[in-house]
């Protein structure tokens, strides 16, 4: 009888231990996965920063697409509102070269557009010729990408594009970024639709300074609603992310506000 009771006792202990293990395992796995993901994203940021600096060092003093773009507007209406010529699509290939962000909200941001080949990665070779200005990181959707100047397809086909006339990273005003709603081999801004109020977006400049922007709203607009990339008319440092939705017929907008002082990225002295 005593032997049987002892066996039941031991069996009970084993069941309890196994039960605790079953409960703890997914929690421990989740914690470990989150830690591993953060480490991987930090490493990715460091690698992208290195590639950005390498790519920028290869950019010559010769005219690049970005300065050509800023000279494109033909009328005062386009230059006064901060969006230049973005509402008017180019009439021909020559115009397309001269109006880099022409029609951004109405064109170029493809949905599930096959931009890359399977062998291509975000390396310095892909960034060569681009004017890189920083890195965007969003832990909640596991996004880390270079930010390049310009919103033409040649820009947003390799990275996240920055509207040339919008505020820069960490600057007062509205910093506007554009990204494809996914591609065959990269997600770009596809997952920004999952962001919720309070989620963090980190923009890192080329000096390694990080600026945290907190998401506060998201909405859908029409391709013609170019006001979304203009100055908001209120004091503060804002971020506007633009991608397409509903088969490319509309635009999905996520807005965030910088809420903290700049801090140096880990590993940067």
Q: In whole angstroms, what is the distance from residue 207 CA to residue 269 CA? A: 10
Q: In whole angstroms, what is the distance from residue 25 CA to residue 102 CA? A: 52
Give the chain's domains with CATH numbers. Answer: 2-264 (2.40.260.10)
Lowest pLDDT segment from 92-96, 151-155, 162-166, 260-264: 92-96
Query: Cβ distance 178 to 240 under 8 Å?
Result: no
What single string gives the DSSP state of each residue in 198-260? T-EEEEEETTSEEEEEEEEEEEEE-TT-GGGGS--SSSSEEEEEEEEEGGGTEEEEEEEEE-S
Tokens for 231, please give them: 């100055």
Residue 62 is predicted with a pLDDT of 42
- Average pLDDT over the chain reads 74
Q: In whole angstroms, what is the distance from residue 120 CA to residue 125 CA? A: 9
Residue 8 is predicted with a pLDDT of 72
Tokens for 229, please give them: 């990339």
* Rounded percentage of the chain residues whose pLDDT exceeds 90: 39
| Confidence band, pLDDT 50/70/90 cuts, at residue 255 | very high
Q: Tens digits of per-residue pLDDT, 206-249?
A: 888 999 999 999 999 999 999 999 999 999 999 999 999 998 89
Residue 205 is predicted with a pLDDT of 93
pLDDT score of 94 more than 60: no
Closest CA to 251 of 154, 187, 181: 181
Residue 13 is predicted with a pLDDT of 86
Residue 102 is predicted with a pLDDT of 46
Q: In whole angstroms, what is the distance from residue 186 CA to residue 237 CA? A: 28
Q: Tens digits of per-residue pLDDT, 98-154?
A: 233 345 464 556 555 444 433 344 555 677 788 999 999 999 999 999 999 999 988
Residue 42 is predicted with a pLDDT of 61
Exposure class string for 87-116: b at 16+ Cβ within 10 A, else e: bbebeeeeeeebbbbbbbbbbbbbbebebb
Residue 162 is predicted with a pLDDT of 95
**Could you tell me the sign of the dihedral formed by the alpha carbons of 32, 36, 42, 45, in that order?**
negative
Q: Which is more confidently placed, 55 or 179?
A: 179
Residue 269 is predicted with a pLDDT of 55
Q: Tens digits of per-residue pLDDT, 221-233?
A: 999 999 999 999 9
């Amino acid at each position: 009888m005593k032997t049987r009771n002892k066996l039941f006792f031991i069996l009970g202990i084993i069941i309890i231990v196994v039960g605790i293990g079953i409960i703890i395992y997914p929690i421990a796995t989740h914690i470990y996965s989150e830690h591993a993901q953060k480490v991987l994203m930090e490493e990715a940021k460091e690698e992208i920063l290195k590639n950005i600096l390498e790519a920028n060092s290869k950019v010559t003093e010769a005219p690049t697409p970005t300065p050509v773009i800023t000279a494109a507007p033909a009328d005062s209406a386009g230059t006064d509102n901060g969006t230049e010529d973005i509402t008017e699509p180019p009439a021909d290939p020559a115009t397309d070269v001269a109006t880099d962000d022409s029609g951004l909200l109405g064109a170029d941001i493809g949905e599930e557009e096959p931009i890359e080949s399977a062998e291509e990665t975000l390396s310095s070779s892909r960034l060569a010729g681009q004017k890189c200005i920083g890195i965007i990181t969003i832990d909640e959707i596991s996004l880390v990408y270079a930010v390049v100047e310009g919103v033409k397809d040649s820009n947003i086909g390799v990275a996240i594009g920055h509207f040339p006339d919008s505020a820069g990273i960490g600057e007062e005003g509205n910093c506007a970024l554009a990204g494809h709603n996914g591609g065959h081999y990269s997600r770009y801004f596809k997952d920004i639709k999952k962001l919720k109020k309070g989620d963090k977006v980190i923009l890192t400049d080329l000096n390694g300074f990080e600026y945290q922007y907190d998401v506060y709203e998201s909405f859908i607009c029409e391709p013609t609603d170019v006001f979304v990339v203009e100055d908001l008319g209120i004091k503060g440092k804002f971020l506007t992310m633009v991608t397409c939705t509903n088969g490319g017929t509309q635009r999905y907008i996520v807005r965030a506000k910088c809420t903290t002082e700049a801090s140096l990225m880990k590993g940067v002295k």
